[in-house]
Amino acid sequence: MIQVFRNLSIKTKLTLLTMLISAVLLFIIGSVALAMEVYSARVNITQELRVLANTLTANSRHPLVLGQYKEIEDLLSSISPQKNIHAAYVFDRSGKPVAEYLSQHNSRFLFQSLQTDFRHENSSFWTGSVAEKQIFDTRHLSLFSPITYAGKQVGTLYLLGDLTRLYGPLAGVGFGMTLSMLVVILLSWLLADRLQKPVTTPLLQLAQLMGNISAVKDYSLRAKKVNNDETGDLVDGFNQMLEQIELHQSRLAEHQLYLEQTVADRTSELRSAVTALEQARNQADAANEAKSHFLSRMTHELRTPLIGVLGMNELLLRTPLTQQQQELADTVQKSGEQLLQLVSEVLDFSRIEAGKLLLDSVVFQLHHVVQDVTSLLLPQAAEKGLPLLTDISSDACLTVRADEIRIRQILTNLVGNAIKFTSSGSITVSLKCTASAGQKRTFFLEVADSGIGMTPEVKQQIYDAFYQVNGTGSGSMSGTGLGLAIVKQLVDLMDGELNLISTPGQGSKFQVLIELPIVEGKISAEGDS
C-alpha cells in the first residue's frame, strides 16, 4: 500500500491527503458526537428506570412487610404499558421472589437477559446489600433497587429493560455521520483539486521541462517562475543549474574542438614522422644490405689471398730453416690463422645478418663432435694449465641429423671463450639427453668454467656484436667480439635455447638446449676423458 502511494503523482497524493484529513477529522467529530449521544441516552434511560424503581419500591414496602404479595403483583402488572420494561421481580429479605411481572412479546430476549443477570456470582445484588446495583451491556439494562422500611432492607426490586430507545436514535446519528462523511469527502476532493494546483502546477511544468531537456539535449531552455515560495526557489535553482550545464557544455565543445584540431595537427606530424622514419628505415636497410654485401665480398676476397699466404708459409715451414727463420715463419702461421678465423667469423656474421646462411643437415654422432672439439682445444687449455673435461651421458650417445659444422662451430666458440676467460680451475663440457618426443630428442649441452664470471651489466650485452668484456681488444682476451653473437644466432636458427648462468668471480655456464631428430638407436661412447 505504501509502495503504491509512493508511485502516485504528487497531484494525486495531495488530493488523497486532503480527502483523508477531512475524513479523519469528520470521523473524530462524529465519534465524539456519537459517544455523547450514547452517554446522554444511557443517562436518560437509567434515570427513567430509577424513577420507576423508586415509585415501585415506595408503594411495595408496606405490602411486603405485611405479606400482602397479591397487592405487589398487581402493582408490578401496572407497568405492562411500558414496552421497554420486560420483567420485574420483588424479593423478600431472604432473597425469595414473592411477586413477578414478565412481558410476553420478546421471550428470547427475556430468557437471555434473566440468565445473565441471575447468575450465581450476581446473587449478592439482591441479598445482603442496601446499595443500588446496575447491569448494563449492549442489549439490556437491569436495576436492583433495595426496598427499605424503617431504615432496614426488607426486600429487593429487580427491573429489566431493553435499549431500543438507545439504538433507535443512534442509527439516525450513524446514518447522518455516513452521509456527512460522503458529502465532506466529495467537497474535500473538489476543494483539494483546486488547492493543489498552485503547488503541483510548477512542479509538473518543471518535470515536463526536465523531460524535454533530456530528450533534445537543449540546455538553453528555462523554467518559468510562478510563485515566490519554495517551488519558486526550486525553479530558480533549476535554472541556475541549467546555466552551469550550458556553460560547461560550451566550454566542453570548445575544448573538444581544440582537441580535434590538436589531434589533427599531431596526426599530420605523426604521418610526416612515420614517412621520415620509413625513409630512414629504407635507407638503413639499404645501408645494412650494402654493408653485408661489402663484408661478404671483402671477407671472401680476403680469404683467397690469405689462404694462399698460409699455404706458401706451410711449404716454407717444410724447408730447412734456421731457428730464427723457423720462429718467424711460425709467427706468420699463427697470425695468419687468427686472421683467417677473424675473416671467417665476419663472413658468417654477415651471412646470418643478411639471412643468407642455410643449415645443412647431415647424419653424425653428436658425442663424437663433443670429443673432437675438446681434443682440438685441449692443447690451448694445457698451455694455461687448465683441465678440459667431458661428461657425456650414455643416453646422449645417439646418431642425429643436423648441421654438424654449425654445432661444431657453436661448441668451439663456447669452449674457446671459456679457455680465454679462465686462468685457474677447470672447464667441463657436458652432453645429456633431457627429453624425448617421438623420433626427436632434446639435447642439453653445457660448457662450465671457473673463470672471472660476469656482472649483470655484462650479461645483458654479452651477445651484442663486436662487444668485448675488457673493451681493449688486446691482450689475452682480445678478439672480434663476434663469437658469442654468432653462437646466439646459430642456436636461434636451429630453434634452440641458449641460457647463461654467471656470477662474478665464480665462473660461467653456457647451456644450449636443442631438439634434433634421431636416425638410429643408441650406441656406446668411445671413451670419455
Tens of pLDDT, residue by residue over 271-298, are 999 989 888 888 877 776 776 666 666 6
The C-alpha cell that represents 528 in the structure block: 670419455
Answer yes or no: is pLDDT of 370 > 90: yes
CATH class as words, domain 211-357:
mainly alpha
Answer yes or no: is pLDDT of 437 > 70: no
Domain with CATH 1.10.287.130 in the chain: 211-357
Please tell me the predicted confidence (pLDDT) of residue 232. 73
Answer yes or no: is pLDDT of 523 > 50: no
Rounded distance between C-alpha atoms, residue 203 and residue 193, angstroms: 15
Q: 426488607: which residue's cell?
A: 154
382 vs 115, residue with greater confidence:
382
pLDDT tens track for 166-195:
676 667 777 777 887 788 778 877 776 666
Please tell me the predicted confidence (pLDDT) of residue 474. 35
- The pTM for the full model equals 0.43
Rounded distance between C-alpha atoms, residue 379 and residue 354, angstroms: 35
Rounded distance between C-alpha atoms, residue 162 and residue 171, angstroms: 16
Residue 209 confidence class, pLDDT cut points 50, 70, 90: confident
Lowest mean pLDDT among 88-97, 152-161, 462-471: 462-471
Domain with CATH 3.30.450.20 in the chain: 2-191
CATH superfamily of 2-191: PAS domain (3.30.450.20)
Angle at CA of residue 55, ends 54 and 56, nearest 5° = 95
Please tell me the predicted confidence (pLDDT) of residue 389. 94
Stretch 492-496: mean pLDDT: 90
Angle at CA of residue 249, ends 247 and 250, nearest 5° = 65
Answer yes or no: is pLDDT of 52 > 50: yes
Residue 84 confidence class, pLDDT cut points 50, 70, 90: confident
Residue of 293, 206, 267, 279 lying closest to 242 (CA atoms):
206
Decide if 361 contacts 517 (C-beta within 8 A): no
Residue 498 confidence class, pLDDT cut points 50, 70, 90: very high
Please tell me the predicted confidence (pLDDT) of residue 196. 64
The C-alpha cell that represents 420 in the structure block: 680465454
CATH of 359-520, one of 3.30.300.30, 3.30.565.10, 3.40.50.300, 3.40.440.10: 3.30.565.10
389 vs 283, residue with greater confidence:
389
Please tell me the predicted confidence (pLDDT) of residue 477. 45
